[in-house]
Amino acid sequence: MNNAVTADYKLTVASDKAGTRLDSFIAEHTPLSRSAAQGLLPENKITVNGKCVSKSCKLKAGDIIEVFLPEAELCEAVPEDIPLDIVYEDDDVVVINKPQGMVVHPAPGHERGTLVNAVMFHCKDSLSDINGVIRPGIVHRIDRDTSGLLIVAKNNEAHLALAAQLEDHSLSRVYKTILCGRLKGDGTVDAPIGRHKTDRKKMAISPDGRRAVTHYKQICELEGGFCLAEMRLETGRTHQIRVHMAHIGHPVLGDPVYGRPTQFEKKHPSLFMGQCLHAGELTFRHPRDGREVTVTAPLPENFKRILTLLGYEQ
């Protein structure tokens, strides 16, 4: 059946990718996530050398992978009139400053009130459909309790162009965070991240995980043994900054998953709605004309209040 139509993606496995799982390879070389790739396999929408295989198929050098995307379905998410803090918009993209606590796309337990619901209302029918019926327009994500900038594609051409920038690391994402402890100079964490072996809701450093690279630098020391730091993502794995900083002994302040409650958090519980992590700067090449676009978003008020209490002069 797939031979009657042209593949949406046709990929050749390089020698250095031999042994990679099929779903991981597709996630690395297309805008599709691993779960999206896994969902296409039972429908015979992915072939290796013309044959249907399982998600755990280990690839060999020279293998030819073809991916056939299904016809776009009507989106199951419901448009909702939810206010959005839009910092940039044109016919191809919209960049939103997501508040802390907002889920990006519908999921069990979070079917309504998500950023996708709000974007669908705002953009009407102008959203890419590459990531399926639950994630229209979504090129990348940030955690529910992380605030800051997220770019949404209004059409498939923009989506593919932005996804390519994520893959070649030319789409720059800069975060501000408060860390427990103080960093010793600038540095880089290059450690693979995968699903936690026993707690499937967590991520962890894992030799079987996907490569993850975070560049960090300390902006200043804060009172109480904390520091304000800047993070630059080279890759974009789930919970990447939070996992990497906890791995080097400096968890993000307020992180309920990878850190431990500090005395400061116990003293000021009303200021914490999750981790002190804010995606404050985003730079990308515009998908239509290639010009460089940089957008910024100020720190949330609770983040600024925490900094003030920790002696930071703003």
**Number of C-beta neighbours around residue 82 at 10 A:** 16
Give me the phi and psi of 4, to 5 degrees please: -85, -10
CA-CA distance, 101 to 241, in Å (whole number)?
18
CA 110 from chain centre, in angstroms, equals 18
Percent helix, strand and coil across the chain, each rounded to 5? Answer: 20, 30, 50
Residue whose tokens read 């026993």: 198
CA 178 from chain centre, in angstroms, equals 20
Give me the phi and psi of 58, to 5 degrees please: -90, 125
Give me the phi and psi of 121, to 5 degrees please: -65, -45
Is-catalytic flag, 186? no
Catalytic residue among 143, 168, 199, 289: 143
Of 98, 93, 95, 105, whose CA–CA distance to 156 is shortest? Answer: 93
Secondary structure letter of residue 75 according to DSSP: P
Give residues with Cβ within 8 angstroms of 161, minimum separation 6: 285, 287
Q: Which amino acid appears at position 27 of this protein?
A: A
Q: Read off the tokens for 221.
A: 């020391």
Beta strand 277-285 pairing with 292-296:
antiparallel
**Number of C-beta neighbours around residue 72 at 10 A:** 13
Residues involved in catalysis: 143
